[in-house]
Amino acid sequence: MHILIIGAAGMVGRKLAQKLAADGALDGKTIEAMTQVDVVAPAAPAGFTGKVEALTADLSTAGEAEKLVAKRPDVIFHLAAIVSGEAELDFDRGYRINLDGTRYLFDAIRIAHGEDGYTPRVVFTSSIAVFGAPLPYPIPDEFHTTPLTSYGTQKAICELLLSDYSRRGFFEGIGIRLPTICIRPGLPNKAASGFFSNILREPLVGKEAILPVSDGVRHWHTSPRSAVGFLIHGATIDTALVGPRRNLSMPGLSATVGEQIEALRRVAGDKAVALIRREPDEMIMKMCAGWAPGFEAKRATELGFTAEKSFDEIIRAHIDDELGGKL
Amino acid sequence: MHILIIGAAGMVGRKLAQKLAADGALDGKTIEAMTQVDVVAPAAPAGFTGKVEALTADLSTAGEAEKLVAKRPDVIFHLAAIVSGEAELDFDRGYRINLDGTRYLFDAIRIAHGEDGYTPRVVFTSSIAVFGAPLPYPIPDEFHTTPLTSYGTQKAICELLLSDYSRRGFFEGIGIRLPTICIRPGLPNKAASGFFSNILREPLVGKEAILPVSDGVRHWHTSPRSAVGFLIHGATIDTALVGPRRNLSMPGLSATVGEQIEALRRVAGDKAVALIRREPDEMIMKMCAGWAPGFEAKRATELGFTAEKSFDEIIRAHIDDELGGKL
């Protein structure tokens, strides 16, 4: 089996490649080759015995998608996108990369399908940003997508294309609406939602973190480990069970900031919690009010997608995966 | 005021131009000029004293949208599209005309906005085809758009673009999800849904019509007159009241075929009803099962969009508008 990961240098892309390398197989079939693509060179996953190819390519450049499809990968994970903030600041770049790039990929597959019947599995990472306030809690599977960012708009459009191209039989698409990833490893970043991870990741290693919102703010989370699990399950699930509605809101954990903090206290003690410094930020609080508080995720749950059931679990997953299991 | 109608040679486009010509004004402002565009030359509306320009142009050809926008029309009605059946048969043509054509238009406006702050009203005709079975009855305003045709997909994508471009302030967009137009004037056509109109229009002039489905089939209708009313109301409504969710399911009339027939009996008698010949068609019956049975249309109703309340009214509107008021 040949797997193509587009957006392989990103946090989720790297973890996905690493997990596939560790498993060595997908859906019971040996992974003979993995092609990793990103705008910066992706690092090869450790311990993989198959063939690895790391390519630097921009999917939104005409002709690039055709080259990737020419090798007829069996499974394509499409994770490449510029993030919400950047897509909002640079309108043209957002539409070019997040929409046109995806359409180039889908059309390259469609044309290959016309040539020789090629019908790969395509796992696309969408986002809860396809939803826009006002939002109910929990958000049902049948709630409409009315994004309030260009990023969310681009993801919602790609979801529609994914469903239509799948319905036409050009490929077998699955759209995975990822919750906010928590705890995001690495350094604190400037994303407005970064604090959800910062207030746990930093105190776990004895560092201070800033909390810009009140304890009552509720949001929808999943660990990087679960996110990778969603993608792999999406690559192997029987699409006949999914039917024509190919975009699924993933399960996750709805929690308030206060609940996050209490989980941190249970796992790492009062000393860790004391490292959270409250610096209310009006702008971030206002943005938060429009974010998804939580989903029913009935269909995805019935289809076998699973996530953490408590923030304690999410914190322990981080300690295992990022801190070598030790506090 | 300068009005641009793209898709002006179609049934609704012609009726819209005629209504605007008869009114002579929109939102209390005199219409000084009307530009009508279509792939075939649109006929100038009768009795209009302002300047009329009829252009033959294909919006999906690069550069055409810029020419139309160069004149800075105050209101743009965008009705141009290829129909559902054709978009399904010709994948490339459907995406080129229904999606790329619309995006060219939106981007031409965006660029003009960047040049001189141009911010026209854009009224876009969407469709209930953005919804796909299984559908509840009535369909709430917040139901998700999961189209089961490429046409519906293209309309749903254009809706998302319309909202995002409006949110960004490039134009003031309103998306009008039209019900099935009934009674459609003209000759019986081969559209699978044509029978909803045929079984009324033909018997009203003493001709036979074929009914391919059972009396229990429920669908969502509005007259051509109401459809034009929706577009004009969409062109004048205060968008601050609409908010960021710019695409509205229009009010209409949910009726079964049996209810249509009883209305025909009340208006035109048993003799007219006797002209309906039942020829069940398995394929059409199957397609019908996936069509929208009816909508709540709460938001649109609150925003002042109005439609007929009975099929008797719809039939009488047809007699008034198409048969000179006489049976």
B284: CATH: 3.90.25.10
Cβ count within 10 A of residue A165: 24
Tell me which chain B residues have a C-beta less than 8 angstroms from the C-beta of A153: 160-161, 163-164
Q: Is the pLDDT of residue B189 over 80?
A: no
Q: Does B168 touch chain A (CB under 8 A)?
A: yes
Contact B168 A150 (CB under 8 A): yes
Beta-bridged to residue A30, according to DSSP, are A25
Check which CATH number belongs to the domain holding B141 and give it: 3.40.50.720
Number of domains in chain A: 2
Report the pLDDT averaged over residues B89-95: 97
Beta-bridged to residue A222, according to DSSP, are A181
Closest chain A CA to residue B142: A144
Q: State how far residue B146 is from chain A, nearest Cα, in angstroms.
A: 7
Which two structure tokens, joined as six digits, stand for B47?
A: 């009795």
List strand residue ranges (DSSP E) for B46-103, in order: 51-56, 75-78
Q: State how far residue B144 is from chain A, nearest Cα, in angstroms.
A: 4
- How is B202-234 classified by DSSP, letter by letter? HHHTT--EEE-S-TT-EEEEE-HHHHHHHHHHH
Residue A138: cis peptide before it, omega within 30 degrees of 0: yes
Q: Using CB atoms and an 8 Å cut-off, which of residues 108-137 of chain B contact chain A?
A: 110, 132
Q: State how far residue A61 is from chain B, nearest Cα, in angstroms.
A: 18
The helix or strand, by DSSP H or E, that contains position A139, with its residue range, turns out to be none
Q: Does A148 touch chain B (CB under 8 A)?
A: yes
Candidate list B95, B118, B137, B151, residue with the active-site label: B151
Q: Does B249 touch chain A (CB under 8 A)?
A: no
Closest chain B CA to residue A95: B161
Contact B144 A144 (CB under 8 A): yes
**pLDDT at residue A243 in the model:** 97
* A213 and A313 co-located in one domain: yes
Q: Is A184 a domain residue?
A: no
**pLDDT at residue B202 in the model:** 97
Q: Is A48 a domain residue?
A: yes
Domain that holds residue A205: 192-220+253-293+308-322
Q: Is A187 a domain residue?
A: no
* B166 and B265 co-located in one domain: no
**pLDDT at residue B192 in the model:** 85
Closest chain B CA to residue A150: B164
When scoring A109, A139, A160 by the number of chain B Cβ atoms within 10 A, the one with the most, hence best to mutate, is A160
Q: Is A245 a domain residue?
A: yes
Helices (H) and strands (E) in chain A, counts: 13, 14
Q: Does A239 touch chain B (CB under 8 A)?
A: no
The predicted-structure confidence for B240-275, as pLDDT tens digits, reads as follows: 999 999 999 999 999 999 999 999 999 999 999 999
* B20 and B111 co-located in one domain: yes
- Vertex B183 angle, CA B181 and B189, to 5°: 85
CB B170 within 8 A of CB B113: yes
**pLDDT at residue A187 in the model:** 87
The predicted-structure confidence for A201-212, as pLDDT tens digits, reads as follows: 999 999 999 999
* A79 and A158 co-located in one domain: yes
* A237 and A312 co-located in one domain: no
* B204 and B159 co-located in one domain: no
Tens-level pLDDT at each residue, chain A (327 residues): 999 999 999 999 999 999 999 999 999 999 999 999 999 999 999 999 999 999 999 999 999 999 999 999 999 999 999 999 999 999 999 999 999 999 999 999 999 999 999 999 999 999 999 999 999 999 999 999 999 999 999 999 999 999 999 999 999 999 999 999 999 999 887 778 999 999 999 999 999 999 999 999 999 999 999 999 999 999 999 999 999 999 999 999 999 999 999 999 999 999 999 999 999 999 999 988 899 999 999 999 999 999 999 999 999 999 999 999 998
Give me the interface pTM, i.e. the ipTM. Answer: 0.97
**pLDDT at residue B115 in the model:** 98
Tell me which chain B residues have a C-beta less than 8 angstroms from the C-beta of A167: 148
* B92 and B57 co-located in one domain: yes
Q: Is A327 a domain residue?
A: no
Active site (annotated) includes residue A118: no
* B209 and B235 co-located in one domain: no
Q: Does B92 touch chain A (CB under 8 A)?
A: no
Closest chain A CA to residue B153: A160
Closest chain B CA to residue A145: B144
* B20 and B133 co-located in one domain: yes
Q: Does A166 touch chain B (CB under 8 A)?
A: no
d(Cα B179, Cα B127) in Å, to the nearest integer? Answer: 7
What is this structure's pTM? 0.97
* A145 and A208 co-located in one domain: no
Tell me which chain B residues have a C-beta less than 8 angstroms from the C-beta of A129: none
Question: Which member of B132, B144, B167 has the closest CB to residue A143?
Answer: B144
Q: Is the pLDDT of residue B311 over 80?
A: yes
Tell me which chain A residues have a C-beta less than 8 angstroms from the C-beta of B153: 160-161, 163-164
Tell me which chain A residues have a C-beta less than 8 angstroms from the C-beta of B244: 132, 146, 148
Contact A153 B164 (CB under 8 A): yes
* B136 and B214 co-located in one domain: no
Which residues, at least 6 apart from A108, have a Cβ–Cβ distance to it below 8 Å? A65, A66, A68, A69
pLDDT band at B188 (very low <50, low <70, confident <90, very high): confident
Q: Is A34 a domain residue?
A: yes
The predicted-structure confidence for A14-48, as pLDDT tens digits, reads as follows: 999 999 999 999 999 999 999 999 999 999 999 99
The CA-based diameter of chain A, rounded to the nearest angstrom, is 63
Q: Is B189 a domain residue?
A: no
Q: Is A301 a domain residue?
A: no
Tell me which chain B residues have a C-beta less than 8 angstroms from the C-beta of A156: 160
pLDDT band at B100 (very low <50, low <70, confident <90, very high): very high
Helices (H) and strands (E) in chain B, counts: 13, 14
Q: Identity (one letter) of the amino acid at B283?
A: M
Contact A157 B153 (CB under 8 A): no
d(Cα B67, Cα B45) in Å, to the nearest integer? Answer: 22
Q: State how far residue B170 is from chain A, nearest Cα, in angstroms.
A: 12
**pLDDT at residue A189 in the model:** 74
Tell me which chain B residues have a C-beta less than 8 angstroms from the C-beta of A161: 153, 157
* B140 and B206 co-located in one domain: no
pLDDT band at B297 (very low <50, low <70, confident <90, very high): very high
